Amino acid sequence: MEPSRQLLFPFDHNPVRLDSFLVESLPEISRSQLKRLIDSGQILLDGLPVKPGFKLKGGETIEIFLPEPEPIDAIPEALPLTILYEDKQLIVVDKQAGMVVHPAAGHARGTLVNALLYHCTDLAGIGGELRPGIVHRLDKDTSGVLVATKDDQSHQFLAAQFKQHSVIRRYVALVHGLLKEQAGSIDRPLGRHPIQRKKISSKARHSKRAVTHWKVLKRYDLDRLTLVELSLETGRTHQIRVHFAESEHPLVADPLYTNSQRKKSLVDVQLRQLIDLLPGQALHARDLGFVHPESRKLLEFRSELPPAFKAIVDYLDRKYFHNRSKG
C-alpha cells in the first residue's frame, strides 16, 4: 500500500520529537489520531515503526498511511432538515426543537447525525470515521442554529474557536419573573448534579467555569415574564437553563428545571394553552457566527423564533401594548 503522505525532516531543522513535528506539519489530523496511527504502525520512519517521542535529527523520511474512514453505527435517515448554508467543509442547519443532536442510549434513530449522514454525501471523515463533526450541541428541546463539519481539518479549526470562546452565540429565552436590571452576567461553575444525575448544578463535586451574559429585551409585567437575549462565554451542558433556574428565573416550560407551580401561577388561560404547545423550554439559539476554516471570513447566521415560541411572544406583545394603550 502506498503512503497517503510523505514528509522529509529537514537537515537544518533543530532536533524535535516526532509527534511534535507531525502535529505542526499535519494540522488536519488531531494529536490523538496521530498517536493512534503511530501506535498502530501506520506512521513509519525510514521504513520502520517508531515511538511518538523519537527525536528527529535531520534527513529522516516519514511515511503516513491513512486508513479509509470507516462507517459509524448510526444509520443514515431521510429526515427533514432546514439548511442555512453548506459547502465542502461544513453545513449549518436550523435545528428544530425535539430533535436530539447525537445518537445515544434511547436515541439511536431520528437524530441530527442520522439526518446529516443521509444528506451529506461528501463526508471526508472525522477521526477516522465517516461521520459529521459535531463541534457543539443544542439540547433536544432547544431549537436554532448549529454547525457541523465534514472533514478533520475543518473540525479542528472550528473546535479551536469554540475553545477560545471566539464564536458568536446568541440565544433568546422567556423566563419566569421580572429581571430588575437591564443587563448582567452569571458566572457560576457547573457540573453533574451530585444526586439527580440527569441534572446539572452549581453544587456539583466536579465543576467547570460557566459564564452567561444576558440583557432584557421585553418585560411582561402583568404575567411576570421576561424575554431575554443571552450570549455564551462558555458552553456547558444546560448552562442557560441552570444559571437562570438557580437565579430564581427558570425558563418557561423547562421540563427539568422549572417547578410545575410556576405555570400554574399564570392566571391567563390562553397564555397557558400557548405554553402547553411548546415542545420544551422556551429557548432558541438565534445567532451563530464563526470564521470559516478555508476562506477565513466571518460567517454569521440567524434563525427566527420557531412558530410555538413566536406565538407566545406575539400574544404577549399584543396583550401588553393593548393594555398600555388603554391606560
CA 242/CA 190 separation, integer angstroms: 8
pLDDT at 70: 54
Residue 11 per-residue DSSP state = T
3-class state of residue 298 by DSSP: strand
Where does the chain hold its CATH 3.30.2350.10 domain(s)? 69-163, 165-302
Q: Which three cell numbers stand for residue 162?
A: 469554540
3-class state of residue 92 by DSSP: strand
pLDDT at 270: 96
| CATH pick for 69-163 out of 1.20.120.80, 3.30.2350.10, 3.20.20.150, 1.10.540.10 | 3.30.2350.10
Fold adopted by 165-302:
Pseudouridine synthase (3.30.2350)
Cα 70 from chain centre: 24
CA angle 316/322/324 to nearest 5° reads: 100
| Crossing angle for the helix pair 18-25 and 31-39, to the nearest 10 degrees | 130
pLDDT at 94: 98
Where does the chain hold its CATH 3.10.290.10 domain(s)? 5-64
Q: Which of 313, 258, 297 is nearest to 280 (CA)?
A: 258
Please count the other Cβ atoms lying within 10 Å of the Cβ belonging to residue 324.
9
pLDDT at 314: 97
Q: Which residues of the chain have pLDDT under 70?
A: 1-3, 27-28, 30, 67-73, 105-106, 125-130, 322-327
Buried b (16+ CB within 10 A) or exposed e, 83-101: ebebeebbbbbbbbbebbb
Q: What is the pTM of this model?
A: 0.77
260-316 pLDDT tens trace: 888 788 999 999 999 999 999 999 999 999 999 999 999 999 999 999 999 999 999
Backbone Cα Rg of the chain = 24
CA 215/CA 228 separation, integer angstroms: 6
DSSP string, 246-267: TTT-PBTT-TTTS-HHHHHT--
DSSP string, 44-63: EETTEE--TTPEE-SS-EEE
Query: For residue 256, what are the CA distances in angstroms to 26, 108, 198, 216?
Result: 43, 22, 8, 23
User: Which residues belong to the active site?
Assistant: 139
169-195 pLDDT tens trace: 999 999 999 999 999 999 999 998 888
Dihedral sign for Cα atoms in the order 74, 80, 84, 85: positive
CATH code of the domain occupying 5-64: 3.10.290.10
